[in-house]
Amino acid sequence: MKALGSVSGNVMATGQLFSKTTQALFYNYKQLPIQRMLDFDFLCGRETPSVAGIINPGSEGFQKLFFGQEEIAIPVHSTIEAACAAHPKADVFINFASFRSAAASSMSALKQPTIKVVAIIAEGVPESDTKQLIAYAKANNKVVIGPATVGGIQAGAFKIGDTAGTIDNIIQCKLYRPGSVGFVSKSGGMSNELYNTIARVTDGIYEGIAIGGDVFPGSTLSDHVLRFNNIPQVKMIVVLGELGGRDEYSLVEALKQGKINKPVVAWVSGTCARLFKSEVQFGHAGAKSGGEMESAQAKNQALKEAGAVVPTSYEAFESAIKETFEKLAEAGKITPVKEVTPPQIPEDLNTAIKSGKVRAPTHIISTISDDRGEEPTYAGVPMSSIVEQGLGVGDVISLLWFKRSLPRYCTRFIEICIMLCADHGPCVSGAHNTIVTARAGKDLVSSLVSGLLTIGPRFGGAIDDAARYFKDAYDRGLTPYEFVESMKKKGIRVPGIGHRIKRGDNRDKRVELLQRFARSNFPSVKYMEYAVEVETYTLSKANNLVLNVDGAIGSLFLDLLAGSGMFTKQEIDEIVEIGYLNGLFVLARSIGLIGHTFRPKETEAATFTATMEDVLYTK
């Protein structure tokens, strides 16, 4: 009696499915099972990773993973065909697709000439689809493991996905080197348990397979037992079946026909089902009794009568395995396995940190914001509090730039600066560059940046220098005459003084607004008054040497910092030196430059081209 779907082609008959050079293609990227495969490779001393490529439909590139201490890049392909063409030596297809798409992707893999084994991890694949896969695999001499499987493992050589669990479990089960036992089970979870049991009472597993718990597995218990029978290194076979279905009876027939000449220790779980009055489903789709012949008791009895070693209970399973192994060892049929010490698998940094084994330095220091709690905070102030208190942009800047809540007159001054500096027409260099870039069809960020890059000492970037020089001169007690003349001797123009259009009799309205606000609200305006005195002297030299908006903001910001009483002298010096004040102009002017970016796009203006009249041609 042969169970439906048995695959008994040449691939099965030859015995060995995997080796230490086997490579696989992994469908539907999952970081953890792939990394576990690579860690197992390293543990076994493989020279090459067992995962040759990853297939992620619609994606191409590389995925970074670890092979021991070395970080490697595994190619990612968008199609199964492309992956098989790129990695012709990879003959195992590990399918982590969902049950909805597992059948289609598995069939596509089976149709590739390079693929010999397909492992289907998904549970619940439609039975009609599974039958088609089984039929195609049987007709084309290929092997299907699953569906609903954790996979399989050849000790010391190759493993599929999450088979055998963690590295600690693999080491405890001695799966890093081959033993003498071939093991096959329906259950992936029970496989882990039996790997451990077998390692305790024998020299360990040579190969283990979980065929999967669905009603129609791609390959059967007997398929793999017959295969183990053809592998010289396998000296005994352990089988763990379960109630439901008739798969075990194909093994019974094989035993009766003398096709298996190695000891078989078997147990069919589910004997407790008789204690229930109605039919009970035990986890797997196939784990339910459909009649007396499908009961665990009937299967165990049939296996025992056919010649398998069948214990009286699952608790006695371990003893039966031990006794069988010891008899083979006493008869000299098993050569003692040379124990080896597996290499230490490097632990991932995040895992080691969480377990307290290592400490690692951080890469970034954040003193202005924190997003780790229930809501982000700016300098310790919750976002909700900022909104509920009706705070404005100036308050947010005070928190994020200066790390403290400044008085309202300070934050209002910041907001006025932003409003006054937001734009200065389309003719200035920043706006001009932005418009030209936008008309060339570039995106918002590119257009904005092209304008911002013109900001410097000659355009909008003089606020810091104005503050720096005014502060130095005032603090040293220089008269306006001494200050201006010393700058002249150094060949340095006084930052914050001079305007292309404005004159002494036509002052910049922005400067007047800022001065008026400061005189009404600031505790002290000593630096501004000094800047005005310097302007009085420079106007005696030329009518265009007026205090401009850069000079007004620079001097008034010094008064804000000094007069608020919230900054030390060292902090004020650092703020001026680092470039905080130019940051105000950059922030403000970004508003206008973004506007200049949108206008050409609205009107679909053509690419800007200068006319010949704009150019002086010289020889």
Cβ–Cβ under 8 Å, residues 600 and 439:
yes
Q: Quote the CA–CA distance of 464 and 557 in Å, as a whole number.
A: 10
Q: Name, in order, each residue with C-beta under 8 angstroms of 304's C-beta and a sequence gap of 6 or more.
A: 310
Query: Using CA of residue 400, residue 404, residue 408, residue 414, what is the dihedral sign?
Result: negative
Clarify whether 284 is annotated catalytic.
yes
User: CA triplet 86, 88, 90: central angle to 5 degrees?
Assistant: 105
Residue 155: closest CA among 204, 110, 116, 112: 204
Specify the pairing of strand 377-378 against strand 369-370.
antiparallel
Catalytic residue from among 77, 87, 224, 284? 284
Q: What is the pLDDT of residues 78-123, one digit of tens each?
A: 999 999 999 999 999 999 999 999 999 999 999 999 999 999 999 9
Quick: pLDDT tens for 499-515: 888 998 999 999 999 99
Question: What gap in Å lies between CA 53 and CA 82, rounded to an integer?
Answer: 10
Listed in order, strand segments (DSSP E) in 330-449 are 369-370, 377-378, 381-382
Contact 152, 119 (CB under 8 A): yes
Measured CA to CA, the distance from residue 192 to residue 180 in angstroms comes to 17
The pLDDT value recorded for residue 167 is 93
- State whether the Cα torsion 310-313-316-321 is positive or negative: positive
User: So what's the pLDDT on residue 472?
Assistant: 95
**Residue 61 amino acid letter:** G
Angle, vertex CA 408, rays to CA 403 and CA 414, nearest 5: 70
Q: What is the 3-state secondary structure (H, E, C) of 46-96?
A: CCCCCEEEEECCCCCEEEEEEECCEEEEEEEECCHHHHHHHCCCCCEEEEC
What's the CA gap between 224 and 317, in Å, rounded? 20
CA angle 600, 460, 407 (to 5 degrees): 110
Please state the pTM of the whole predicted model.
0.68
Task: Round the average pLDDT of the chain to a whole number and report it.
Answer: 91
Please give the DSSP secondary-structure letter assigned to residue 144.
E
Tokens of 561: 């910092």
What per-residue confidence (pLDDT) applies to 274? 56
Closest of 136, 129, 281 to residue 216, by C-alpha: 129
The closest of 224, 171, 230, 219 to 195, measured between CA atoms, is 171
Rounded Cα distance between 31 and 63, Å, is 9
Cβ pair 264, 311 in contact under 8 A: no
> Looking at the DSSP assignment, which residues form a beta bridge with residue 181?
205, 236
Containing 501, the helix (H) or strand (E) segment is: none
DSSP state of 336: P
Is the omega angle on the peptide bond into residue 376 within 30 degrees of 0, that is, cis?
Answer: no
| Dihedral-angle region of residue 280 (phi above 0 means left; psi in -120 to 50 means alpha; beta otherwise) | beta
Identify whether the C-beta of residue 240 lies closer than 8 Å to the C-beta of residue 275. no
pLDDT beneath 70, residues of the chain: 1-14, 272-291, 460-461
